[in-house]
Amino acid sequence: YPDALEVINRWFDEGHIITFFTSRTEEHRAITQDWLQEYGFKYHHLLMNKPRGGNYHWIDNHIVRATRFKGKFTDLVTKVAEIEVFDHD
């Protein structure tokens, strides 16, 4: 993914909080950090042990922007989407 480094580092420089969320286990943290550093990725956090498979839920009481990589990075755009939330009643 030739533009990944450039785009992620630009987002970092623009003030976005960059967090990599990986299915790698905690025992692979050091080698993952070394790889990111070797290739020059700027980031704030590295979360390990992401559930494998696509049917998991990220639950947070703050706004979270998730970017799913689909083979090509593009500029971020604003979209209106229908989402499911917990009922407050």
Which residue is it, tokens 């989407």? 81
What's the pTM?
A: 0.67
pLDDT tens-place string over residues 31-85: 999 999 999 999 999 999 988 877 777 777 877 777 776 777 667 677 888 888 8
The rounded Cα 44 to chain-centroid distance in angstroms is: 11
Q: Report angle CA 70, 54, 85 to the nearest 5 degrees.
A: 100
Number of structural domains, the chain? 1
Q: In this structure, how many other beta carbons lie within 10 angstroms of the beta carbon of residue 8?
A: 22
Residues linked to residue 46 through DSSP beta bridges, in sequence order: 20
- DSSP alpha helix (H) spans, the chain: 4-13, 29-38
Range of the domain at 46: 1-89
